[in-house]
Amino acid sequence: MNVLETRHVTMRFGGLTAVDDLNIVIEEGEIVSLIGPNGAGKTTCFNVITGIYQPTEGEVFFYGEKLNGKRPDQVASIGISRTFQNIRLFKTMTVLENVLCATHFNRHSGLFSNILHLPNALKEEGLNRDKALKILDEVGLAQYADWKATSLPYGLQRRLEIARALVSEPKLLLLDEPAAGMNPKESDELADFIFEIKDKFHITVFLIEHHMKLVMKISDRIYVTQYGKTIAMGTPEEIRNNPLVIQAYLGEEG
Amino acid sequence: MEKKNNAIFQRILENRNKVLTIVFLALIMVIVGNLKPWFGSYWVRVFNTCCIYSMVTMSMNLVNGCTGIFTMGSPGFMCIGAYTTAILTLTPEVKDAVYYLSPIAPWLRELNTSFPVALLLGGLFAAIAAFIIGFPVLRLSGDYLSIATMAFSEIARVIMLNAQSITNGPIGITKIKNHVTVWVAFMALVSVYVLLRLLMRSTYGRALKAVRDDPVAAEAIGIPLFRTKMTSFIISGFIAGIAGGLLASLVGTIDANQFVYSYVNQFLLMMILGGNGSMTGSILGSFVITTALEVFRFMDEPIDFGFWKYPGIGGMRMVLFSISLMLIVLFWEHGIMGSNEFSWDRIIERVKKLVSSIRGLFKRKEEQA
What lies within 8 Å, CB to CB, of A171 at 6+ separation is: A3, A63, A79, A80, A203, A204
Q: Encode pLDDT of A118-135 as tens digits.
A: 999 999 999 999 999 999
Examine the domain organization and report whether A73 and A195 are in the same domain. Answer: yes
Number of domains in chain A: 2
pLDDT at residue number A243: 87
- Among the candidates A164, A184, A209, a domain finishes at A164
Examine the domain organization and report whether A2 and A119 are in the same domain. Answer: no
Examine the domain organization and report whether A180 and A247 are in the same domain. Answer: yes
Question: Mean pLDDT for chain A?
Answer: 91
Q: How far apart are CA B153 and CA B349, in angstroms?
A: 43
Chain A to chain B Cβ contacts (< 8 Å): 102
- Are A215 and A24 in contact, with CB atoms under 8 Å apart? no
pLDDT at position A201 over 60:
yes
pLDDT at position A12 over 80:
yes
> Closest partner residue to A91 among B207, B213, B221, by Cβ?
B213
Examine the domain organization and report whether A95 and A134 are in the same domain. Answer: yes
Buried (b) or exposed (e) across A215-233, using 16+ Cβ within 10 A? bbbbbebbbbbbebebbbb
pLDDT at position A34 over 80:
yes
Q: Are A105 and B222 within 8 A, CB to CB?
A: yes
Q: What is the number of other CB atoms lying within 10 angstroms of the CB of residue A133?
A: 16
CATH number at residue A8: 3.40.50.300
Q: What is the number of other CB atoms lying within 10 angstroms of the CB of residue B13?
A: 9
Q: How far apart are CA A34 and CA A230, in angstroms?
A: 10
Mean pLDDT of A153-178: 92
DSSP B63: I
- Are B214 and A89 in contact, with CB atoms under 8 Å apart? yes
Examine the domain organization and report whether A62 and A132 are in the same domain. Answer: no
Q: Encode pLDDT of A134-148 as tens digits.
A: 999 999 999 999 999
Examine the domain organization and report whether A71 and A95 are in the same domain. Answer: no
Mean pLDDT of A191-195: 92
Interchain contact A148–B (C-beta under 8 A)? no
Q: How far apart are CA A53 and CA A71, in angstroms?
A: 9
What phi and psi values does residue B79 have, to the nearest 5 degrees? -60, -45
Examine the domain organization and report whether A102 and A63 are in the same domain. Answer: no
Determine, yes or no, domain membership for A225: yes
pLDDT at residue number B365: 66
Nearest to B212 by CA among B66, B46, B92: B66
pLDDT at residue number B323: 83
What phi and psi values does residue A16 have, to the nearest 5 degrees? -90, 125
Report the share of chain A in percent with pLDDT over 90: 69
Q: Report residue A253's pLDDT band, with 50, 70 and 90 as the boundaries.
A: low
Examine the domain organization and report whether A153 and A196 are in the same domain. Answer: no
Examine the domain organization and report whether A141 and A246 are in the same domain. Answer: no
Examine the domain organization and report whether A176 and A234 are in the same domain. Answer: yes
Q: Are A104 and B207 within 8 A, CB to CB?
A: yes
Provide the chain B residues 196-215 that lie in CB contact (below 8 A) with chain A: 198-199, 201-204, 206-207, 209-210, 212-214
pLDDT at residue number B243: 97
- Among the candidates A141, A164, A187, a domain finishes at A164
- Among the candidates A133, A164, A195, a domain finishes at A164
Q: How far apart are CA A235 and CA A233, in angstroms?
A: 7
Examine the domain organization and report whether A41 and A154 are in the same domain. Answer: no
Mind listing the pLDDT tens digit of every residue in chain B (369 residues)? Answer: 566 777 777 877 778 888 888 899 999 999 988 888 898 889 999 999 999 999 999 999 999 999 999 999 999 999 999 999 999 999 999 988 888 888 888 888 888 999 999 999 999 999 999 999 999 999 998 899 999 999 999 999 999 999 988 999 889 999 999 999 999 999 999 999 999 999 999 999 999 999 999 999 999 999 999 999 999 999 999 999 999 999 999 999 999 999 998 889 889 989 988 888 899 999 999 999 999 888 888 777 788 788 888 777 777 777 877 887 788 778 877 888 888 888 888 888 888 888 888 888 877 766 665
Determine, yes or no, domain membership for A84: no
Interchain contact B333–A (C-beta under 8 A)? no
Examine the domain organization and report whether A98 and A65 are in the same domain. Answer: no
pLDDT at residue number B2: 64
Determine, yes or no, domain membership for A117: yes
Q: Where are the alpha helices (DSSP H) in B110-141?
A: 115-137
DSSP B340: P
Domain extent, residue A4, equals: 1-79+170-254
CA atoms within 13 A on the CB side of B236: 33
Interchain contact A240–B (C-beta under 8 A)? no
